Amino acid sequence: MYARIVVALDGSSFAEEVIPRAARIAEQIGATLSFVRVAERPGDMLVADEYVRTLARRHGVDGRAVVASGSVSESIMGEVDRVPDSLVAISARGRSGLGTAVLGSTAREYVQSSHDPVLVYRPTGVDEHDVAPVTTVLLPLDGTERSESMANEAADWAQALHANLVIVQAIDARGVDLSGIDTTEDAYVHSRADVIAERVGIPVAWEVLHGDPAQALAAYVRGRRDVLIVMATRTQPALRAAVLGSVTSELMHGASVPVVVRAVRS
């Protein structure tokens, strides 16, 4: 598991909403927590440094500002890579919090550029200090190797957090005539649960959901504050704007739980 969680900040209250969730997760897995703020211009360094150090002192953690070398996401990546076994935690919205993109431009670029998982949280505008511990790690599967590539990551999280591991598959059969068909809709997810449980040596529960995958998954975790979703998403190098697969993007728009996501090229 990760030894350090690095919270990327931009000076906004939206970005700061990820702090209590990252802090709770860090506490559960025995990791240290640190903050980083990237000054986009050398002249911004003094303000950025004062902001991040003040916030870090308030939370009793390490904090540092760095001057951007390349893009902001590349600079954050450099800070994460500075200490081995670090994971970045980043808000899906920044500064004004406005815009149509589900992920802010920095978070989107970071997910695309990183070969490692990224902890992303979509802020709601509500400041929460009393964050519940994670008791359930959710691994969505869709029958593809891409989705199954995060199985070991999800199992590692479940073990480190002392949480339950649940795999889910959402089946959208709207408009499909299933009459006369002997459906074994749970065969896939059930078999994957058995395989993963045997491989990692921990119990694995499973659920089959129905309807639009993103909406079904969002409804499944709605109202929960003790869930961590671990999932893969697709990225297409030829379409750099299409960083997140539609299900991942829609799920993050409809669910207010932290998501550990890794982009896998299609």
Q: Give 123-140 pLDDT, tens digit per residue.
A: 887 777 788 999 999 999
Q: Which residue, 96, 121, 146, sits at the end of a domain?
A: 121
Res. 58 pLDDT band, cuts 50 70 90: very high
What integer pLDDT is reported at residue 31 of this predicted model? 98
Are 115 and 176 members of one domain?
Answer: no
With respect to residue 126, please indicate whether it lies within any of the assigned structural domains. no
With respect to residue 227, please indicate whether it lies within any of the assigned structural domains. yes
User: Does residue 37 or residue 108 have the better pLDDT?
Assistant: 37
Domain holding 97, by residue range, is 4-121
Q: Distance of CA 165 to CAs 151, 171, 195, Å?
A: 10, 20, 13
What integer pLDDT is reported at residue 240 of this predicted model? 40
pLDDT tens across 156-211, in order? 999 999 999 999 998 886 655 545 544 456 888 999 999 999 988 999 999 999 88
Res. 90 pLDDT band, cuts 50 70 90: very high
Are 88 and 198 members of one domain?
Answer: no
Q: What share of the chain is helix, strand, coil (3-state, %, to 5)?
A: 40, 25, 40
With respect to residue 142, please indicate whether it lies within any of the assigned structural domains. yes
Average pLDDT, the chain: 85
- Report which secondary-structure segment, H or E, holds 72: helix 72-81
Res. 60 pLDDT band, cuts 50 70 90: very high
Helical residues (DSSP H) of 95-212, grouped into ranges: 105-113, 145-148, 151-161, 187-200
What integer pLDDT is reported at residue 181 of this predicted model? 42
What integer pLDDT is reported at residue 93 of this predicted model? 72
With respect to residue 217, please indicate whether it lies within any of the assigned structural domains. yes
Q: Which residue, 92, 121, 150, sits at the end of a domain?
A: 121
Q: Is the pLDDT of residue 56 over 50?
A: yes
What integer pLDDT is reported at residue 179 of this predicted model? 52
Are 102 and 144 members of one domain?
Answer: no
Number of compact structural domains in the chain? 2
* CB contact at 8 A, 192 and 166: no
> Alpha-carbon distance 233 to 249, whole Å?
9
What integer pLDDT is reported at residue 3 of this predicted model? 97
> Alpha-carbon distance 128 to 207, whole Å?
29
Are 112 and 165 members of one domain?
Answer: no
Are 188 and 96 members of one domain?
Answer: no
What backbone torsions phi and psi does residue 139 show, to the nearest 5 degrees? Answer: -115, 105
With respect to residue 51, please indicate whether it lies within any of the assigned structural domains. yes
- Interstrand relation of 259-265 and 118-121 (parallel, antiparallel or unpaired): antiparallel
Q: Is the pLDDT of residue 111 over 70?
A: yes
User: Does residue 58 or residue 127 have the better pLDDT?
Assistant: 58
What integer pLDDT is reported at residue 105 of this predicted model? 74
Nearest to 194 by CA among 157, 225, 160, 151: 151
What integer pLDDT is reported at residue 112 of this predicted model? 79
Lowest-pLDDT range, 14-23, 124-133, 155-164, 216-225?
Answer: 124-133
Residue 82 sits in a domain whose CATH number is 3.40.50.620
Q: Residue 131: which residues within 8 A CB-CB, separation 6 or more?
A: 20, 21, 23, 24, 225
Are 114 and 141 members of one domain?
Answer: no
* CB contact at 8 A, 234 and 145: no
pTM across the whole model: 0.88
Cα within 13 Å of Cα(9), Cβ side: 29
Are 178 and 113 members of one domain?
Answer: no
With respect to residue 239, please indicate whether it lies within any of the assigned structural domains. yes
Instruction: Quickly count: other Cβ atoms within 10 Å of residue 181's Cβ.
Output: 8
On the 0-12 / 13-18 / 19+ scale of CB atoms within 10 A, 73 is buried
Q: Which residue, 121, 154, 183, sits at the end of a domain?
A: 121
With respect to residue 80, please indicate whether it lies within any of the assigned structural domains. yes
